[in-house]
């Protein structure tokens, strides 16, 4: 069966490959209405495109793009583990915006081999959200809006940094996951947020970004604040039950903070809202402990 | 094998790949596919979807199903054990270890990965992963065979137990590596181990086709000797069969076949275990009939499982290993129920 197909398929494939290249291998130029057709393969990219009012150019996205609410209506073409190659080719995007390290590299390599243009968002530092905004603004020709949002974001970030830079450090445990207990360290996105708020992450010295730690380590460090991000949409929370460890200052004085996990973990402008709120709550705890000395 | 069964199996093996082309994530109408096959596609994009994405996937599905079923059937016969399966020799765990190393070195954003990429700029993740997985799978089989030969005097039960032990050992190593790596690395390897034909490209068909064909042909040539082994080792020896040498040859062929499949498609469990049992019921236990039956039915089975994998959910693919394991486990529960005293 396959053998009888093969000679035709080989010659056909060569011809088709050339045709495909002529069709989609051309550099991405403005298409319909002078706008690029975009497939955005990460929730944060979708969110940033909405921010700069380029949402009408998104023709497809990945499974977990859920903000703003209208983004849920965008057609899906896969998730962080696998892309629907056929569907993406059929959609004929002018550009695919992927997340470096967060989108499936092998599928993207294959799409690139088909001549599709792929560009990556790779935010590592908090300031990179502004860089991503500017990059997207340039891509979709919305520089003015993007630059304005980027400036605003950076100003708010700077403001938080200035406000808490001289504050006394307060020992904090950040719980990413409860079983096993997983926290943040090194260059992890939330660890940078903690540093900005003047919180002293009790596991800041570990080399991994998201290390697993033991309960004993947390108990012996006696953090004054425990941060357990929660999704606001979900009703079922899987956070560690700290209440039975009343000797931990954070539990004794009820400084268990629950920021919105979508805002904390996603590299978007919404992060700064949650960061301001989180820093303020940490500051309340700081003042409480100062007064109770 | 009577003519009716033979005709049904051949028909199934012809129809499955053809019908498999009509299913996929892209919305291609039946008429447009027929037009693409008979004349020329209306849109060039349909050409690409059908011939460069869907056809390789169907072809790879057939070859993978055929290869796994043949390996399973042969191992079950030569080890006189209905539970023998290529995966019992640590192939998946070995491939998993290789995949973990490749992911950490070539597929993450860690410092180590950046160093590896700067040292080997020409090696992409999509090449490093199957290559490392293949080496890992073969490494596992070699360890199992060495243990069996040097420590257990080639006793079948010990060989299977050695396979289980090596599986756990290699799994522990890969779990430790993933535990130490960035979270996305674990994610990638776990999804890879669940198995998928989504990466299938035509070049893989050209790699797989000779491997599967030559393996089946060599096993087919030794068909009569393998049949003799069904009578037991002692009887086979009196008939002039070099039992130990033949068993080693069969193991190496099955290991190469499975390692090649696992390296590219991840862990697709239960096919090698389940299909031979079904085929035996239809065509009997004679090796040559069994091999041909496994090629045709195993290949067709995996094409249809892959159709389910890519069509069941609208916007996502289900890893194929989940479906084969689900079907396989149910099959075994019912099969066991039938043989209870």
pLDDT, tens digit, for every residue of B229-249?
988 888 989 988 898 889 889
Per CB-CB distance under 8 Å, the chain B contacts of A106 are: 125-126, 129, 199
Token code pair at residue B188:
């990638």
- CATH number (domain holding residue B70): 1.10.3470.10
Highest mean pLDDT among B167-181, B216-230, B259-273, B308-322: B216-230
Token code pair at residue A43:
């929730």
Token code pair at residue B219:
């096993």
Distance from CA of A162 to the nearest CA of B (A): 31
Strands A58-61 vs A118-121: parallel, antiparallel or unpaired = unpaired
A-B CB pairs within 8 A amount to 122
The reported pLDDT for the residue numbered A30 is: 44
pTM of the model: 0.79
Q: How far apart are CA B101 and CA B117, in angstroms?
A: 13
Q: How far apart are CA B296 and CA B276, in angstroms?
A: 11
Q: Residue B322 in contact with residue B194, Cβ under 8 Å? A: yes
Q: How far apart are CA B66 and CA B82, in angstroms?
A: 18
Q: How far is CA B8 from CA B59, B70, B79, B296, in A?
A: 20, 19, 30, 10
Q: What length is written for chain A?
A: 293
| Residue B265: closest CA among B29, B89, B66, B37 | B66
Say yes or no: B59 contacts chain A, CB-CB below 8 A.
yes
Interface residue of B23, B32, B46, B51 to substitute, partner A, most A CBs within 10 Å: B51
What tens digit of pLDDT does each residue of A132-151 get?
999 999 999 999 999 999 99
Q: Which residue has the higher pLDDT, B314 or A167?
A: A167
Domain extent at residue B205: 3-339
B201–A110 C-beta distance less than 8 A = yes
Per CB-CB distance under 8 Å, the chain B contacts of A100 are: 109
Q: How far apart are CA A273 and CA B320, in angstroms?
A: 42
What tens digit of pLDDT does each residue of A248-262 get?
999 999 999 999 998
Range 62-81 of B in CB contact (< 8 A) with A? 62-63
Token code pair at residue B238:
């009196």
Token code pair at residue B67:
């290869």
Instruction: Quote the percentage of chain B above a pLDDT of 90.
Output: 32
Phi first, then psi: what are they for A226, rounded to 5°?
Answer: -120, 130
pLDDT of B50 over the 50 cut: yes
The reported pLDDT for the residue numbered B162 is: 85
Strand order in the sheet with A170-174: A199-201, A170-174, A225-227, A256-257
The reported pLDDT for the residue numbered A16 is: 41
What tens digit of pLDDT does each residue of B66-82 get?
999 999 999 888 888 88
Mean pLDDT of B152-162: 74
The reported pLDDT for the residue numbered B303 is: 96
| Minimal-distance CA residue of chain A relative to B194 | A81
Q: Which residue has the tokens 């149910």?
A: B330
Of A9, A85, A92, the CB nearest to B53: A85
Q: Residue B84 in contact with residue B144, Cβ under 8 Å? A: no
Say yes or no: B26 contacts chain A, CB-CB below 8 A.
yes
pLDDT of B130 over the 90 cut: no
pLDDT of A5 over the 50 cut: no
Mean pLDDT of B147-151: 79
pLDDT of B140 over the 60 cut: yes
- Average pLDDT over chain B reads 86
Of B51, B126, B184, the CB nearest to A106: B126
Q: How far apart are CA A194 and CA B3, in angstroms?
A: 74
Of A16, A76, A101, the CB nearest to B108: A101
pLDDT of A210 over the 90 cut: no
The reported pLDDT for the residue numbered A12 is: 43
Among the residue ranges A152-161, A282-291, B35-44, the one predicted with the least confidence is B35-44
Q: Quick one: B60 exposed, middle or buried, by C-beta within 10 A (0-12, 13-18, 19+)?
A: buried
Q: Residue A190 in contact with residue A210, Cβ under 8 Å? A: no
A75–B315 C-beta distance less than 8 A = yes
The reported pLDDT for the residue numbered A21 is: 38
The reported pLDDT for the residue numbered B73 is: 94
Q: Judge if the upstream peptide bond of residue B80 is cis by omega within 30 degrees of 0.
A: no
Q: How far is CA B211 from CA B145, B214, B266, in A?
A: 21, 5, 17
Highest mean pLDDT among B129-143, B172-186, B283-297: B283-297
- Confidence label for B109 from pLDDT (cuts 50, 70 and 90): low
Q: Which residue has the tokens 């020709």?
A: A141
Which ipTM value was assigned to this complex?
Answer: 0.72
The reported pLDDT for the residue numbered A4 is: 40
pLDDT of A31 over the 80 cut: no
Return the axis-axis angle of helices A270-291 and A143-164, rounded to nearest 10°: 10
pLDDT of A106 over the 50 cut: yes
- Domain ranges (residues) in chain A: 22-147, 167-291
Strands A95-99 vs A181-182: parallel, antiparallel or unpaired = unpaired
Highest mean pLDDT among B65-69, B87-91, B127-131: B65-69
Mean pLDDT of B158-167: 85
CATH superfamily of A167-291: Nitrogenase molybdenum iron protein domain (3.40.50.1980)
Q: Which residue has the tokens 């700064």?
A: A272
Of B59, B198, B314, the CB nearest to A82: B198
B45–A20 C-beta distance less than 8 A = yes
Token code pair at residue B84:
């023998």
| Residue A269: closest CA among A99, A164, A145, A107 | A145
Strands A177-178 vs A181-182: parallel, antiparallel or unpaired = antiparallel
pLDDT of A190 over the 90 cut: yes
Q: Which residue has the tokens 């080989």?
A: A10
pLDDT of A235 over the 60 cut: no
CATH superfamily of A22-147: Nitrogenase molybdenum iron protein domain (3.40.50.1980)
Distance from CA of A225 to the nearest CA of B (A): 25
Distance from CA of A197 to the nearest CA of B (A): 25
- In sequence order, what DSSP letters do the residues of B266-287 get, joined into one string? ----SHHHHHHHHHHHHH-S-H
Mean pLDDT of A186-211: 92
3-state helix, strand, coil in chain B (%, to 5): 80, 0, 20
∠ CA(A117), CA(A189), CA(A39), 5° rounding?
A: 20
Say yes or no: B12 contacts chain A, CB-CB below 8 A.
no
Strands A95-99 vs A118-121: parallel, antiparallel or unpaired = parallel
Q: Which residue has the higher pLDDT, A8 or A80?
A: A80
């Amino acid at each position: 069966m396959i053998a009888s197909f093969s000679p035709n398929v080989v010659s056909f494939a060569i011809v088709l490959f050339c045709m495909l290249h002529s069709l989609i291998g051309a550099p991405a130029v403005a298409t319909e209405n002078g706008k690029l057709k975009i497939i955005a393969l990460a929730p944060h990219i979708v969110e940033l495109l909405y921010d700069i009012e380029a949402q009408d150019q998104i023709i497809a996205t990945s499974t977990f793009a859920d903000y703003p609410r209208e983004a849920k209506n965008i057609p899906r073409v896969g998730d962080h583990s696998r892309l629907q190659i056929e569907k993406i080719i059929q959609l004929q995007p002018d550009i695919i915006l992927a997340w470096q390290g967060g989108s499936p590299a092998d599928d993207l390599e294959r799409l690139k081999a088909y001549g599709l243009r792929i560009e990556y968002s790779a935010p590592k530092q908090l300031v990179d959200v502004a860089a991503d905004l500017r990059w997207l603004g340039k891509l979709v020709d919305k520089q003015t809006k993007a630059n304005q949002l980027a400036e605003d974001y950076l100003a708010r970030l700077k403001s938080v940094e200035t406000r808490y830079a001289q504050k006394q450090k307060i020992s904090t445990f950040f719980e990413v996951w409860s079983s096993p207990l997983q926290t943040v360290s090194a260059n992890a996105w939330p660890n940078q947020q903690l540093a900005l708020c003047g919180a002293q992450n009790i596991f800041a010295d570990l080399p991994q970004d998201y290390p697993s730690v033991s309960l004993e380590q947390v108990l012996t460090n006696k953090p004054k604040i425990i941060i357990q991000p929660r999704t606001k949409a979900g009703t079922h929370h899987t956070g560690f039950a700290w209440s039975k460890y009343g000797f931990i200052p954070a539990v004794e004085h009820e400084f268990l903070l629950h920021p919105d996990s979508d805002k904390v973990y996603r590299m978007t402008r919404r992060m700064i809202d949650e960061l301001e709120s989180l820093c303020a709550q940490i500051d309340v705890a700081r003042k409480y402990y100062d007064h109770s000395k | 094998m009577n003519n009716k069964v033979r005709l049904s199996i051949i028909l199934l093996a012809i129809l499955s790949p053809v019908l498999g082309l009509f299913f996929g994530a892209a919305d291609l109408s039946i008429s447009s596919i027929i037009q693409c096959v008979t004349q020329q596609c209306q849109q060039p994009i349909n050409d690409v979807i059908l011939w460069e994405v869907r056809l390789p996937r169907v072809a790879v599905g057939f070859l993978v199903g055929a290869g796994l079923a043949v390996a399973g059937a042969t191992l079950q016969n030569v080890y006189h054990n209905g539970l023998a399966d290529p995966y019992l020799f640590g192939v998946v765990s070995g491939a998993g270890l290789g995949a973990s190393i490749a992911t950490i070195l070539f597929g993450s954003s860690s410092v180590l990965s950046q160093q590896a990429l700067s040292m080997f700029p020409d090696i992409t993740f999509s090449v490093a992963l199957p290559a490392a997985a293949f080496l890992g799978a073969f490494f596992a089989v070699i360890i199992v065979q060495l243990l069996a030969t040097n420590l257990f005097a080639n006793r079948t039960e010990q060989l299977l137990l050695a396979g289980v032990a090596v599986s756990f050992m290699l799994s522990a190593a890969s779990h430790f590596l993933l535990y130490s790596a960035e979270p996305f690395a674990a994610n990638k390897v776990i999804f890879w181990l669940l198995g998928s034909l989504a990466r299938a490209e035509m070049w893989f068909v050209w790699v797989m086709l000779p491997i599967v064909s030559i393996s089946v042909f060599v096993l087919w040539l030794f068909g009569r000797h393998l049949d003799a082994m069904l009578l037991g080792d002692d009887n086979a020896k009196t008939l002039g069969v070099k039992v130990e040498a033949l068993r080693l040859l069969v193991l190496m062929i099955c290991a190469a076949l499975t390692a090649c499949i696992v390296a590219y498609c991840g862990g697709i469990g239960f096919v090698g275990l389940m299909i031979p049992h079904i085929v035996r019921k239809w065509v009997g236990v004679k090796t040559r009939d069994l091999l041909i039956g496994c090629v045709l039915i195993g290949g067709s089975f995996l094409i249809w499982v892959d159709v389910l994998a890519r069509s069941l959910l609208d916007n996502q693919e289900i890893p194929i290993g989940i479906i084969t394991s689900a079907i396989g486990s149910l099959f075994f529960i019912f099969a066991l129920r039938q043989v209870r005293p």
